[in-house]
Amino acid sequence: MIEAWEVKRMNQYVTGAVIKELREKNHMTQAELAEQLSVSDKTISKWETGKGYPDVSLLEPIAKAFGISITELISGNSVNNVNVSANMLRSKFYVCPVCGNVIHSMGEAVIHCHGITLTPCQPEETDEHHMIFVERVEDEYFIRIEHDMTKQHYISFIAGLSSDKIQMIKLYPEGNAEGRIKINGVKKILFYCNKDGLFSMNVVKGIDDKQASYDDVEERKALEETAKRLFG
């Protein structure tokens, strides 16, 4: 629940343009909205023309009338969440550029941290500056990333995703960019670089299937040789 003082501080962002857009999106007249809020249609008109603002006490009823949260109303961003099955493979990660806070969501969301509206990180494919090595060790994946781990440039976390589970490893500067996760149907591995963002790798089909007789030794050797040439 948003505290009253916080709502009051953010009330300036509930603009008439947002109210009008949401009202029209919901196919409501000013009179219909006014009736739900127990105010006059002239009051709604004042809000939408910038001649006044809704009282703090009306924010919750306004949000309820439009079928959204107070946070969505304040930010002006409505969320249409299509991930109703909560498939973890569709997970989204938000990272605050101020404090480095990592927030995980199973679908679309409006996330704020330090007064900033965060956007979901868009994963990219790994490249020569962000090389990842995955090795099966019994029932786990041992994950190692060739990357600096200085206070200025480091890997923040590693995540392993399956359809119904997420495993996260928090990493810290001057530590090792590596960790272990349980195999348990992991289909995707992600990691986050504090400078270059989120990277993703699909787990090679067969690597966790003993009957597939998958042997990644040669592939890993080739990748390690490439890493040595690039990084010494």
CATH number at residue 200: 2.60.40.730
Helix (H) or strand (E) holding 203: none
Consecutive 10-residue runs of the chain (232 residues): their mean pLDDT? 41 71 92 92 87 80 88 67 67 88 84 82 89 92 94 94 92 95 93 92 61 49 68 63
Question: Does 81 map to a domain?
Answer: no
| Residue owning tokens 């990748």 | 223
Question: 144 and 199: one domain?
Answer: yes
Separation CA 52–CA 144 (nearest Å): 57
Question: 113 and 141: one domain?
Answer: no
Question: Does 83 map to a domain?
Answer: no
The total domain count for the chain is 3
Question: Does 46 map to a domain?
Answer: yes
| Residue owning tokens 């002239």 | 42
Across the strands, what pairs with 92?
105
In whole angstroms, how far apart are CA 181 and each of 79, 134, 138, 170? 32, 10, 11, 12
- Looking at residue 225, its pLDDT comes to 74
The distance in angstroms from the start CA to the end CA of the chain is 53
Question: 98 and 130: one domain?
Answer: no
Separation CA 108–CA 90 (nearest Å): 10
Question: 107 and 173: one domain?
Answer: no
Of 18, 40, 75, which marks where a domain is finished? 75
Question: 168 and 226: one domain?
Answer: yes
Residues of the domain holding 194:
124-231
Question: Does 144 map to a domain?
Answer: yes
Question: Does 181 map to a domain?
Answer: yes
Whole-prediction pTM:
0.59
Question: 154 and 170: one domain?
Answer: yes
Question: Does 169 map to a domain?
Answer: yes
Question: Does 82 map to a domain?
Answer: no
Question: 128 and 214: one domain?
Answer: yes
Question: 226 and 158: one domain?
Answer: yes
CATH number of the domain where residue 58 is located: 1.10.260.40
Separation CA 144–CA 175 (nearest Å): 12
199-204 long-range contacts (CB < 8 A, ≥24 apart) are: 199/123, 199/124, 199/125, 199/126, 199/127, 199/130, 199/132, 200/123, 200/124, 200/125, 200/126, 201/125, 201/126, 201/132, 201/134, 203/134, 203/141, 204/134
Question: 211 and 130: one domain?
Answer: yes
Question: 130 and 227: one domain?
Answer: yes
Question: 130 and 220: one domain?
Answer: yes
Question: 64 and 146: one domain?
Answer: no
- From 137, 207, 211, 219, select the one nearest 179 (Cα to Cα): 137
Helix (H) or strand (E) holding 145: strand 140-146
